[in-house]
Structure 1
Amino acid sequence: MDAGGPVSTHAITAGTLVRTIDSNEIVVLDVWAEWCEPCDQFASTFERTALAHRDVFFGKIDAQREGALVQELRVQALPTLLVYRRSAMVFRKAGGLTPTALDELIRQVKDLGGGDGQLQAIVHWEEEPGERMGPPLSWSEWLRRLLLHGKMQLAV
């Protein structure tokens, strides 16, 4: 990030995570490490998207500095993208997204929610260890299917 430019993302630590999630409607987190080449490739997409969506909080968790937090979040691969809406995790994916896919994800997350204040879907993208989910779907198809089923809940 350009030191002279506007701040588009914020460093998140174990001490700031809960407050950040609780005080922002939508929080998008990138769990990364300096040595991680895929993290480096995704970083510019994450920064540009943050600049385009000023109404969404974008944060970065440094896996090297925040190892205990990364373990608590059950992150097993870098980068990992975590998205929270109204303090609930609504999306989790190991690996980066294209700029178009990240923009579309944010649009979909903004559209989540019903009049009762409850989220319509909780999205969990990753398989649990030892679990088989069948052929992979594109993230947009996965999210579309979840949204079509109303209040489908998936464990995170």
Structure 2
Amino acid sequence: MAVQHLNKGNFKQAIEGNAFVIVDFWAPWCEPCMSFSPTFEAASDVHSEIVFAMVNIDESPEIAQYFNVKQIPAVMPIRNQVVVDAQVGDMTARELDEAIAAWGEFDVTEIDRYFKEKQAV
């Protein structure tokens, strides 16, 4: 699946409309970001059940500020609209695959239950 490019206009829809989204915060002037991009894009082809998205922090600084992104590349997996982890820095393909596996196994049952109870009130 192709990597989506998110901005202020489509970020919320992408997060709310998908159960598992991995967001890469990056900038075109960031050399580690540029070297990590092909790895991120290759992972999106392998894991078609997950939405892979990129946020250019220069074009969408408000999103980066909201998530308190201080260093890039920063990768955040979001499961059921909740950030479950964050990785800062370049990763190898193997490191990214291992992280994706761990993020996929993360049990969000209690988080889901909490938010369902909040909505019911």
Fold shared per TM-score above 0.5? yes
Identity among equivalent pairs (%): 26
Q: Which residue number in structure 1 is paired with residue 60 of structure 2? A: 66
1:85 to 59, 79, 90: 79
The 2-side partners of 1:69 and 1:56 are apart by 20
Structure 1 residue 18, shift from structure 2 partner: 1.8
The answer for unaligned runs of 5 or more in structure 2 is: 112-121
For 1:1-156, list aligned pairs within 5 A. Answer: 8-113=2-107, 117-119=109-111
The answer for unaligned runs of 5 or more in structure 1 is: 1-6, 120-156
Aligned pairs, number: 112
CA RMSD of aligned residues (A): 1.7
Judge which range, 93-102 or 55-64, deviates more. Answer: 93-102
Structure 1 residue 82, shift from structure 2 partner: 0.8
> Any idea what SS the aligned residue of 1:106 has?
helix
Structure 1 residue 56, shift from structure 2 partner: 0.3
Structure 1 residue 29, shift from structure 2 partner: 0.6
Structure 1 residue 118, shift from structure 2 partner: 2.5
> Any idea what SS the aligned residue of 1:113 has?
coil
Per-residue CA shift, 1:61-90, capped at 9, x if unaligned? 011111122112111111111110111100
CA contact (8 A) 1:81 1:96 kept: no
Structure 1 residue 43, shift from structure 2 partner: 0.5
The TM-score, its normalising length taken from structure 2, stands at: 0.85
- Poorly superposed stretches of 4+, deviation over 3 Å: none
* Structure in which a larger fraction of residues adopt helix: 2
The 2-side partners of 1:92 and 1:37 are apart by 19
Tell me which structure has the larger Cα radius of gyration: 1
